[in-house]
Amino acid sequence: MQNQDWPDTLFTQAPPRLGNQFDDDPLLGSWTRRTLPAPIVAELRGELRELGALAGGDLYQLQQADLANEPVLTQWDPWGKRIDEVVVSPLWREAERLAARHGLVATGYEPAMGRHARIAQFLKVYLFHPSTDVYTCPLAMTDGAARCLLESGNHELIERALPHLTSRDPATFWTSGQWMTETTGGSDVGRSETRAVPDDEGGWRLYGRKWFTSAVTSQMALTLARPEGNPPGGKGLAMYYIEIRDLDGKLNGIRVDRLKDKLGTRKVPTAELLLDGTRAALVGPALNGTRSIEPMLGVTRMWNSVCAVSFMRRGLALARSYARERQAFGQPLEQLPLHADTLAGLEAETWGAFLMTFLLVELNGRIERNEIDDQQRALLRLMTPLTKLITGKQAVAVVTEVIESFGGAGYVEDTGLPQLLRDTHVLPIWEGTTNVLSLDALLRSDLHAGLAALMARASACLRTVSEPRMVAATQQALGALERVALVLDSGQEPEVLQAGARRLAMTLARALQLTLLCEHAQWMIDHGGDRRGYAAAMRFARQPVDLMTEVDPEADRLLLG
């Protein structure tokens, strides 16, 4: 019998909804029109809209249904034979098929788009990434392997692997691993202990332990090992090509000891491997392998940056949908001034991160076609670590706020929101932590040349801006860059410069983002009167840009005891 005091219906909160992630993006349309020739925009639009529909529709629904699934390692068959088979989730199997069909690697290597091929590729990645639980990880390493092989000039391996790495046919498409990290460390690869021994067939055999390998289900990998007799340190390493299984499907002298139990990216089958006589081919010289693998790092850091911006956009798409649906104090959340202010700040960060990231993509596309001058090369060398480090930190900050914007629902696993936050946390770590990349920018990128190029790019932005408040904001950013230049010319001790490297790098990155925001905002005003870009630039300008502070390493040591 029904209790008469109980209401006939109870309120049920509607979940956030995603529409077409290309059509609904507040920046993507104007940026593509500004950056790409009209015929290329027309050619790309259909496929980008298709990917946008998938990302907010069927693929997103599959992702939600796949939340509980993780890769499974089976080390032994029922009769005691060691097999080390890894099975990935249904979402990943579908993501692999879609990635091949849409050319998420191939597009960057096809001649049809010319110097815009990388932009076309990464617009697809931007839409595809957040609905696939980081299937972009093996795709990034696949792209990096393709670039490494091409730059190695090893024609035999290029002919063997490149058609697979850049295939659009799921039946012939290969992904690649990147096996560098050992128990001795990830960034300090010069301490690697894996040995390479010549065999009787003119090849090599590898012996060692790889502590963190993120593509054990791939068909090939590039790895570092030390040829017998080579000196210690990074100069004594060489880069090797491995095919993970033989023609019979058996592992190539590889034992999968376990899958990592990680905070996030749990769909990614990250493994600890033992190499025990693994057959391998030398890719380039038998020395300076760290230099040989640098093209891969440039590519994967670009992927990391695009994925960071993509996660920021996904979090905001969900948060803004929820703010329209959720009522509080008699109004939708989006109409409450403080909630609107919070979301607007996140939007501005996302716009800045997007513009910087896709400038990096544009420069990479040009350098790969030798359509770049020395100043732009210097800018690219500096921008690669800067973009990766700043977007990783921005993504974590934005997605953290997104989770909070849902209140308690953001803390509940089956909404999928906690997984979004955990997966985002890999971005400041993978391919170089913030500190490692800050030192990379300070010590390895020819900072003086890069800073001059960055200031020239910021000055070019200033010349395009006419709206008075944006002129002032661009001048504010240039002032921050000039302060960095003064610090570098002040003769500070190396210890002091290194201690402040993180703040120096972030100042450079945020100053560039602000100038790019003003430049794009002016274009939007001049080409249709849209003032959303202006609002983004002004909001970004109200946040700290110049993060330089006095550094006292002695005080740091005292504080740390």
**Tokens 């800067």 -> residue:** 386
**What does DSSP assign to residue 182?**
B
Q: How far apart are alpha carbons 360 and 303 in whole angstroms?
A: 10
- DSSP character string of 195-222: EEEE-TTSSEEEEEEEEEES-TTSSEEE
Half-sphere exposure of 320 (CA within 13 A, CB side): 18
**What does DSSP assign to residue 168?**
S
Relative to beta strand 204-213, strand 176-179 is: unpaired
The DSSP H or E segment spanning 278 is strand 271-282
Residue closest to 487 by CA, chosen among 467, 510, 504, 509: 504
> According to the model, what pLDDT value does residue 3 have?
58
Would you tell me how many other CB atoms lie within 10 Å of the CB of residue 15? 14
> According to the model, what pLDDT value does residue 2 have?
55
> According to the model, what pLDDT value does residue 162 have?
98
Q: How far apart are alpha carbons 350 and 461 in whole angstroms?
A: 19
* CA-based end-to-end distance of the chain: 70
Q: Which two tokens stand for residue 430?
A: 């993978």
The partner residues of 177 in beta bridges, in order of sequence, read 221
**What does DSSP assign to residue 445?**
S
**Tokens 């990379």 -> residue:** 440
Relative to beta strand 254-259, strand 204-213 is: unpaired
Burial of 162 (0-12, 13-18, 19+ CB in 10 A): middle
Question: Is the pTM for the entire model greater than 0.95?
Answer: yes
Burial of 349 (0-12, 13-18, 19+ CB in 10 A): buried
Can you point out the beta strands (E) in 77-213?
A: 82-87, 176-179, 195-198, 204-213
Residue 307 contacts residue 428 (beta carbons within 8 Å) = no
Q: Which two tokens stand for residue 245?
A: 């299984």
Cite the DSSP H helix spans in 369-493.
Answer: 374-405, 417-424, 434-439, 447-464, 468-488
Q: Which two tokens stand for residue 155?
A: 């024609």
CA distances from 508 to 91, 177, 387, 477 (A): 39, 32, 10, 9
Residue 115 contacts residue 369 (beta carbons within 8 Å) = yes
The partner residues of 281 in beta bridges, in order of sequence, read 241
Q: How far apart are alpha carbons 127 and 61 in whole angstroms?
A: 15
Would you tell me how many other CB atoms lie within 10 Å of the CB of residue 269? 26
Q: How far apart are alpha carbons 515 and 365 in whole angstroms?
A: 22
Q: Which two tokens stand for residue 310?
A: 């993509």
Count of all residues that appear for the chain in the document: 561
> According to the model, what pLDDT value does residue 191 have?
87
Phi, then psi, of 29 in degrees rounded to 5:
-65, -50
Burial of 84 (0-12, 13-18, 19+ CB in 10 A): middle
- pLDDT tens track of the chain, all 561 residues? 555 666 667 888 999 999 999 999 999 999 999 999 999 999 999 999 999 999 999 999 999 999 999 999 999 999 999 999 999 999 999 999 999 999 999 999 999 999 999 999 999 999 999 999 999 999 999 999 999 999 999 999 999 999 999 999 999 999 999 998 888 877 778 888 999 999 998 899 999 999 999 878 999 999 999 999 999 998 999 999 999 999 899 999 999 999 999 999 999 999 999 999 999 999 999 998 888 889 999 999 999 999 999 999 999 999 999 999 998 898 999 999 999 999 999 999 999 999 999 999 999 999 999 999 999 999 999 999 999 999 999 999 999 999 999 999 999 999 999 999 999 999 999 989 999 999 999 998 799 999 999 999 999 999 999 999 999 999 999 999 999 999 999 989 999 999 999 999 999 999 999 999 999 999 999 999 999 999 999 999 999 999 999 889 999 999 998
Burial of 470 (0-12, 13-18, 19+ CB in 10 A): buried
Q: Which two tokens stand for residue 438?
A: 């800050």
